[in-house]
Amino acid sequence: MKRRSCKYDSLILATGASPVNLPVPGAKELVGKGVHFVSDIENAGALLDAAKSSVKKSAVIVGGGATGLEVAVGLKKLGVDVAVTKRTPHPFPRNLDPTMGKIIVEHLEKLGIRVLFGKGIDRINGTQKVESVKVAEETIECDIVVMAVGMRGNTKLAESIGAKIEKGLVLVNNRMETTVKDVYAVGDLVRTYSRIDGTPITMQLATSAYRQGMTAGINAAGGNTPYPGALNTFLVCVGGLEIASTGYFLDMAKGLGYDAKAVSTRREVKPHYMPGAKEINLRVIVGAKDGKILGAQAVGEQGAGWRINLLALAIHGNMTLYDLMDAELSYNPPISQMYDPISQVAEIGLKRLRLGPKKCDKVFFCK
């Protein structure tokens, strides 16, 4: 394409991110020869073709995030043996506490996927094509390697015009402006901030990108509206298991100086006598003194995503366990419990934190 010059009043950078490759021997050399990425339609299509024509019917996934686990389940369904490796021992360390991560590992193993968490890969072997992968003490024969170790923001253009970069991402303000006048940036290439307290966070999700885009669009066109900050609301469905979270996980909240506690429950999402009643694991991170909701995690075959949506709205509204307790949720046996896991976790939390019942300040009769 020929380069062209375009004048602008306002410029919005939405250059996205590119998949990261690990700096291990063989990784770079074997791209396109068995080393795959999954970040767009084309490379996803190439992986699908490779899986169908695979001779060894064996794949190693590097990375246990949303993409890694979705691909693992997909390949397994296509009849490929799958091992998933990741350097850190727990899945979704930026979203889930280790206790929730355990449930996911058990689920993956039940699906017949080898889980090698806490074990990074040392090298990818092969010359013309991938032959095997060395993981810790083991060499795994395979002809497919999927690199799913995250995305690096495409910040080159922003850098070239002098925009400030922090931790590899473009620094923006709450109007989505970069440090360069009239230049905005949105999506996977920017460092965003928490809606809870303004803490800078990396959140390369469509949900934040979309709202950032709206904000930048309004402001670039002459408006003046803020991006409200991100909650990092996250949902992935892995082999029928919904994994969802929002806000801070326990160690992050503590690390930011919060006197935070976690409260958990495990409860059926419908009355036990209804067919197909599944259990959900729900965990809420709260301030120990006031019961303020700082984060939440849910894992289960049904309703994890929507319970997390509810808790995301509760965080947005500065709500506490008292508000969850008062939340008047709908009840119909084919769909829900009268005493939802959300009500239960609120009650458990208030009791455990010794936060007594809400006080009645003013007594009144309804007319």
- 331 Cβ contact list (under 8 Å, min separation 6): 337, 338, 340
> Among residues 58 and 208, whose Cβ is nearest to a second copy?
208
The verdict on 64 binding a second copy (CB under 8 A) reads no
Minimum CB distance to a second copy, residue 131 (Å) = 34
Contact letters for a second copy, residues 158-197 (x by CB under 8 A): --------x----xxxxx-x-x-----------xxx-x--
Cβ atoms of 209 and 186 within 8 Å: the answer is yes
- Quickly list DSSP for 244-259: EEEE--HHHHHHTT--
The verdict on 42 binding a second copy (CB under 8 A) reads no
Minimum CB distance to a second copy, residue 342 (Å) = 9
What is the CB neighbour count within 10 angstroms for residue 297? 30
> Among residues 25 and 322, whose Cβ is nearest to a second copy?
322
Minimum CB distance to a second copy, residue 242 (Å) = 7
The verdict on 92 binding a second copy (CB under 8 A) reads no
The verdict on 45 binding a second copy (CB under 8 A) reads no
The verdict on 224 binding a second copy (CB under 8 A) reads yes
Among 144, 186, 220, 235, contact with a second copy (rule: CB under 8 A): 235
The verdict on 281 binding a second copy (CB under 8 A) reads no
Residue 230 CA to residue 164 CA, distance in Å, equals 20
Residue 25 CA to residue 133 CA, distance in Å, equals 10
Residue 262 CA to residue 287 CA, distance in Å, equals 9
> Among residues 4 and 362, whose Cβ is nearest to a second copy?
362
The verdict on 226 binding a second copy (CB under 8 A) reads yes
The count of residues interacting with a second copy (CB under 8 A) is 74
How many angstroms separate the first and last alpha carbons of the chain? 74
Among 108, 189, 244, 299, contact with a second copy (rule: CB under 8 A): 244
Among 271, 316, 348, 353, contact with a second copy (rule: CB under 8 A): 316
Residue 156 CA to residue 169 CA, distance in Å, equals 10
List the interface residues with a second copy, window 347-366 (CB under 8 A): 357-366
Cβ atoms of 299 and 103 within 8 Å: the answer is yes
Give me the residues paired with residue 265 across strands.
282
The region that residue 348 occupies, defined by phi over 0 for left and psi between -120 and 50 for alpha, beta otherwise, is: alpha
List the interface residues with a second copy, window 324-343 (CB under 8 A): 326-332, 334-336, 338-339
Minimum CB distance to a second copy, residue 319 (Å) = 6
What is the CB neighbour count within 10 angstroms for residue 17? 18
Minimum CB distance to a second copy, residue 313 (Å) = 5
Residue 348 CA to residue 159 CA, distance in Å, equals 50
The verdict on 305 binding a second copy (CB under 8 A) reads yes
The verdict on 208 binding a second copy (CB under 8 A) reads yes
Give me the residues paired with residue 242 across strands.
237, 300
